[in-house]
A and B are shown apart, each in its own frame.
Chain A
Amino acid sequence: MTELARIRAVPDLHYGLAVVVCPSCDTACVRTRHPDIQFWRNFRRLHQSIRLVIFKVFLSIALGALMFGLVMWGREFDSSNFQSIDPGRQFGAWATAILIPALACASGCVIRLVYRHQHAVVPLIALVIFGVFFTWVDYIFMGLTLMMSKIGGFDFSYHTWSANDFILRASLFSFVIVCAFVGFLPAKFLSPFMSRSPNRKFRKLRRKRLKSIERSH
């Protein structure tokens, strides 16, 4: 009785089976992965895929919300604050002027890295769709406010959008999207670093396995 557990299974050329040949009696048998382990591995793969889908969808929604938030922040921007004597206001103006494009760029970079397997248009469209969705929610918020005030029994002041509001939001949204698109450039340089680490691990393992097979042959 020879222990076959530590003997390497050589992939069979004819059937692709992992064949282990007993060194004592030359009896050939096939090593199969234990069904429990196989089941658990499949489950983990499925779990990982579902987790990735959920993460990416929620990240897209969050970045779309950030685009909308940046537009709302941009509405408050007052260029006259640059000349203000109040240092707090001056700082606020500079912070707004720098942070809005910077955050938009960072969002663009992140979403491009997350969707690096797709064409560059796809993450951009995702940002536009979710940004427009949140703007639409803001637009219908008037109706929702009215409803909540009726249900909750309180009066809530609200105002409708003027034509200037529409133009301001549209131009700010375009600016933010262009900034996000600029963020795609650093993502292009960062992308190989993101995909290198898992690939390197697989390459190492594959090389090691092939070497050992060559040795056994």
Chain B
Amino acid sequence: MTDQQQNQSEAYMPDEIRADRACIGCGFNLYGQTVTKEPHYGMAITRCPECGTVAALQTYPSMSHWVNRFRSIIAAVWIVLLLGALAGSTVVLTGLSLSATELASENLAEIIGASHEEWGKAKEAQAAAVNATGGTTPTAAPTTTTTTLPTVFNGTTTITTTTGTTVVFPGAGSRSFRWVTISEEWRKDHLDSTIEQAGGVWANVDGEFLIMLIPGIIVGVLCGVFWSVTLLGGTKRRAILVPLVACFVAAAIVIGINSTDSSFQWAREIARGYYAPIIVPIMIGVQFTAISVGVFAGRKIARFVVVMALPARNRVPLSLLWTCEGHSLPKPK
């Protein structure tokens, strides 16, 4: 550099950076940083106060606006993807809770369906009798009696009416009555008494809904790990709020679906309406516990998987898994 040029550069050298300029090391905005003259080449430089990287004022090429544009686009796409994942989590939780409710309500659905079927037959027989006598004989409304034996006696339910007796076997033996359409008249007059005679809602819970806890727990833990790793910017306590929202929405959907009241419902729908407020909190509670375990252990699991699967060189781009919690990237052995 000639003396003339050196004098010129000294004359016009600003004291500090007066524009936005990102550090090439950490992205810190160097606005306001003091500019010094580096003795070796005589270049105007500044040091990043965050990472200490030297930034020369005369560089080629200059910063592009497209970086910020790309970042904005990618951030928007990422948010859309996260919203999609939240919707997916909600759907999975809803499906598992709905299946558990369906399984738990099978016994009661069979009893309701069978009882209604018998009542219908009795009513038909009564109408036939009225027609035979010319419609002059007053008749009493048909009645049904439901008796449920305890589990030690195979848990069968006997439904006795004026026309006969039907025995409902719980489990795989009987499932034809679940799809019986229940009339509004019977629901108003006989539904509560039938359930009461059968031993109540709790006595007729089909224990097989518990098998849904296995996929529920596995899916919950995986869901928790996913959210823990995806929401690296927040703490674990904050990350747990997102699946919590999914749990609430899933519970509301399942209870909402099963509380709709229409004139004609299948026996299984009515039975599900009784079990949804009991089974849904249990299922959602268990799944939320599994999700919490997944969220709190998720980052550790992810770090373990990365260390196991990748050699040290390939771990560097995933270093955020360590740095987000203040750890340093493990050194290669």
Residues of A within 8 A of B (CB): 4, 12, 14-15, 17, 19-21, 25-32, 34-36, 39, 42, 45-46, 48-50, 52-53, 56-57, 115, 117-118, 122, 126, 140, 143-144, 146-147, 149-151, 153, 155
B1:A45 contact, CB within 8 angstroms: no
Candidates A19, A35, A49, A117; contact of B317 at CB < 8 Å: A49
Residue on B with the closest CB to A154?
B172
Contacting chain A: which of B35-43, B116-124, B185-193, B249-257?
Answer: B35-43
Chain B residues in 8 Å Cβ range of A117: 310-312
A29:B305 contact, CB within 8 angstroms: no
B63:A35 contact, CB within 8 angstroms: yes
Chain B residues 78-115 with CB under 8 Å of chain A are 99, 102-103, 106
Which residue, of B5, B70, B308, has the highest number of chain A Cβ atoms within 10 A? Answer: B308
Candidates B38, B56, B61, B316; contact of A45 at CB < 8 Å: B316
B125 is an interface residue with CB less than 8 A from chain A: no
A150:B172 contact, CB within 8 angstroms: yes
Least CB distance, A113 to chain B, in whole angstroms:
13
Bound Cα distance from A56 to B317, whole angstroms: 17
User: Considering only CB atoms and an 8 Å cut-off, how many residues of chain B contact the other chain?
Assistant: 46
Bound Cα distance from A133 to B151, whole angstroms: 34
Q: List 22 A-B contacts (CB under 8 A).
A: A4-B60, A15-B38, A17-B56, A29-B58, A31-B59, A31-B60, A35-B22, A35-B63, A39-B67, A42-B317, A45-B316, A49-B318, A50-B318, A52-B309, A56-B309, A56-B310, A118-B308, A140-B214, A146-B211, A150-B171, A150-B172, A151-B102
Chain A residues in 8 Å Cβ range of B309: 52-53, 56-57, 115
Given A12-B40, A30-B56, 7 additional A-B pairs, CB 8 A: A12-B41, A17-B56, A30-B60, A46-B317, A48-B314, A143-B214, A151-B99
Least CB distance, B177 to chain A, in whole angstroms:
12
Candidates B22, B43, B64, B312; contact of A29 at CB < 8 Å: B43
B70:A39 contact, CB within 8 angstroms: yes
Residues of B within 8 A of A (CB): 1-2, 5, 22, 24, 38, 40-43, 45, 54, 56, 58-61, 63-64, 66-67, 70-71, 99, 102-103, 106, 171-172, 175, 208, 211-212, 214, 305-306, 308-312, 314-318
Least CB distance, B38 to chain A, in whole angstroms:
8
Chain A residues in 8 Å Cβ range of B99: 151
B305:A52 contact, CB within 8 angstroms: no
A27:B5 contact, CB within 8 angstroms: yes
Chain A residues in 8 Å Cβ range of B56: 17, 29-30
A25:B59 contact, CB within 8 angstroms: no
B314:A15 contact, CB within 8 angstroms: no
Contacts A28-B43, A57-B309; A52 near B314 (Cβ below 8 A):
yes
Candidates B41, B54, B66, B172; contact of A28 at CB < 8 Å: B41
Chain A residues in 8 Å Cβ range of B71: 39
Bound Cα distance from A140 to B315, whole angstroms: 37
Which residue, of A4, A32, A45, A143, has the highest number of chain B Cβ atoms within 10 A? Answer: A32
Least CB distance, A128 to chain B, in whole angstroms:
14
